[in-house]
Structures are given as C-alpha cells and as structure tokens.
Amino acid sequence: MIRERALQFGPGRRLLGILSLPETIDPARPAIIMPNTGFEHRVGPHRLHVHLCRAFAQAGFAALRLDLSGMGDSDSGQLNDPIADQGAAMDELARLGIATRCIPIGLCSGGHDAHRFAKADPRAVAAGFLDHYLYSTRRSRRISLWQKLSELRRVLNFLQRRCGAFGRAGISSESAGDNWFERPDRRAFQSDVDGFIQRGMPLFFLFTGEYQNVYNYPEQLLDICPRLGDYELYHLHYFAESDHTFSQSQMRRKLIDALLLWLNAQVLTQLPHGPRAAITPLQPAQSLRARTAAAVTTTASVNQTRPQTWAALDAAALTGMTRKLGADA
C-alpha cells in the first residue's frame, strides 16, 4: 500500500511536490524525481506523473513529482534554476531519511531538466529521458521524405506550406520537439552521454512516434551516439504508435512496464547492497550488435530482416515493425 504526502522544501520552503512512498522505505534505494513537463502542473499531461510515481512507489521506490520554481504551486525564486530545485528536493529527501541518491526522469522539457541535473549532481545514479532531445540522421531524413512522398495528401500539404511560407523564416523540422528548451548541439549531447557512461549510470531513453519528421526508427539514437551501443547499462525504446503525452491508458501502461523493467533489470542490480534481479547479465565478449539488439525495443512484436534496399527498409519503418540489428549486413 502506497502513501502520499505534500512536501515543501527549498529556500523559504517555496517549492512544493507530492511524494509517493512505498509501504517500506529503503534508504539505500534511490528515489525518483520527476520535474514538470512544459508548463504543466506537477500532475503531468493526462496525469502521467501521477500514474508513474504511484507505479514507482508500488515497486518500492520513493517518487517525488515536483513543481519547479514559478510553476504549479511553487513560488518563483531569484534565479529559477531547475538544477538547484532538484538539488533542494534531494536535500529534503536526505534530511527525512528517505534517500541519499536519486533517478531523475522527465518528459520533453522535463527530460531536459533531468538531463542537466544528472550531469551536474553526483547524487543522480541513473536517469530516464522521454522524448527529450531529438536529432535527425541521414537515414531518418530519408524515412521522413519517403513518408511525405508516399501519400498524395501529404505532398499537397507540404507544397501548400512551402508556398505559404515563401519569403518568411520557417521552423526547421529538427526543432519540432524543441519548443520549451534550448537543446544542446549534437557534440555536446554526445559528450554528456559519454560522461554518463563513464560514471556507470543506467540510462533509459524512450522516443514516441510524435515527431516522425525527426526521429522515426528504433535504433536512431545509436546512430547519433555510437558509444552507447557498446554500453551494457541502457534501455532504448521506440513507441511508434504512442503520442508525445501518452494520452491513452494503454500507452501509459506500456511506458510504466518499460520503466519498471529497466529499474528492476539494471538499476536495482547496480545497488551496492540492493536485491539482484534474476537476469543473465550481458557478457563483455558479446558483440556490439548482440548487445544493441538486446537493448533496443519497440512495442511491435514483428521481427524482420533488413531488406537489401534503403527504400524497402525505410518503408518498413513506417509500420513501426521491429528490425533486429543482428540481421544487419
């Protein structure tokens, strides 16, 4: 049975969050911190943060969904610094004897804030990012073009937009998921991921089908960060049929299941004195391809080998099918 309580913390106790607690609190287990998404209240879009934090508590993790400075029920401060706000949340959890380490998890701008906090604060021992930084690749641009050319309606809409936008500045397709924050450039992001890897942090990445013009195939992140594919402690998911805010209950359920799988399979096994899940760890002798195939998932269950032409391959991506990397040439 979980318990929930309001928590005030930070300078002048001006920050507010809702803390979901498991039946038994284990201070050796990291707590989960979820900052706001966009301008949403701490409940998250479609009460997503409520569903997630309660599921985390049922799984034995203390989970805090908080309003950052100037958002929801938290007052503004002089700096309104999300990194400092999350640090203040951790200070309070430590003071209460609940946890001394944490796992920041965030969606979109919340993923941006979770990313920056994980980079800055050594108390972050793992991190989860949902649709936070989107970078296109040569292959994703081919898929996007294929999508546009595959339907007459989309071709006409594209031409209409181009004609209407002629002579004025437009928004690049790569900025589609970038409305609420300034995304780091690709090299900076790669450097950050390398830093997480060097710290041995379990990492969770999930991308939805919302931004097909930028991110549109399961292993795209590995083409952006090749070193990640040779790292054992990560899960990468691509939910092609899900929207950005997980508006339907089945989408939220799949997200919860994916996060709990990651927490049990990778995060708990890294605790110095925590319980070890009954899994077979990946061996160093395994190839990059085998490790990557084990770590990359989609919600579809169809397996298929890679066709010989990029056109056939990328057409297959439109259906959201799983393509096992072990079949790559």
The answer to whether 45 touches 106, Cβ cutoff 8 Å, is no
Whole-number pLDDT of residue 178: 42
What does the alpha-carbon distance between residue 158 and residue 149 come to, in Å, rounded to a whole number?
10
Whole-number pLDDT of residue 327: 31
Contacts of 218 (CB under 8 A, 6+ apart): 236, 238, 296, 297, 298, 322, 323
Q: What number does CATH give the domain 3-136+185-327? A: 3.40.50.1820
Whole-number pLDDT of residue 162: 59
Tokens of 98: 């609940």
Q: Which of 127, 123, 125, 63 is nearest to 270 (CA)?
A: 125
Ramachandran sector of residue 264 (left: φ over 0; alpha: ψ -120 to 50; beta: rest) = alpha
Whole-number pLDDT of residue 326: 31
Calculate the dihedral angle through the C-alpha atoms of 245, 248, 297, 217, rounding to the nearest 10 degrees.
Answer: -60
Q: Where are the domains of the chain?
A: 3-136+185-327
pLDDT in 10s for each residue of the chain, 329 residues: 889 999 999 999 999 999 999 999 999 999 999 999 988 889 999 999 999 999 999 999 999 999 999 999 999 877 789 999 999 999 999 999 999 999 999 999 999 999 999 999 999 999 999 999 999 999 999 988 887 787 666 566 656 665 654 433 333 334 444 455 688 999 999 999 999 999 999 999 999 999 888 999 999 999 999 999 999 999 999 999 999 999 999 999 999 999 999 999 999 987 664 433 333 333 333 444 454 455 566 544 222 223 333 344 344 433 333 332 333 32
The answer to whether 17 touches 73, Cβ cutoff 8 Å, is no
What does the alpha-carbon distance between residue 54 and residue 21 come to, in Å, rounded to a whole number?
8
Coil, strand, or helix at residue 59? Answer: coil
What does the alpha-carbon distance between residue 242 and residue 261 come to, in Å, rounded to a whole number?
19
Query: pLDDT per residue over 220-233, tens digit each?
Result: 999 999 999 999 99
Whole-number pLDDT of residue 154: 58
Whole-number pLDDT of residue 128: 98
Query: pLDDT per residue over 270-301, tens digit each?
Result: 766 443 333 333 333 344 445 445 556 654 42
Listed as own residue / partner, the contacts of 276-280 with beta carbons closer than 8 Å and 24 or more positions apart are none
Contacts of 315 (CB under 8 A, 6+ apart): 146, 150
Kind plus residue range of the DSSP H or E element containing 304: strand 303-304
Ramachandran sector of residue 125 (left: φ over 0; alpha: ψ -120 to 50; beta: rest) = alpha
The answer to whether 193 touches 227, Cβ cutoff 8 Å, is yes
pTM of the model as a whole: 0.78
Whole-number pLDDT of residue 77: 77
Whole-number pLDDT of residue 183: 86
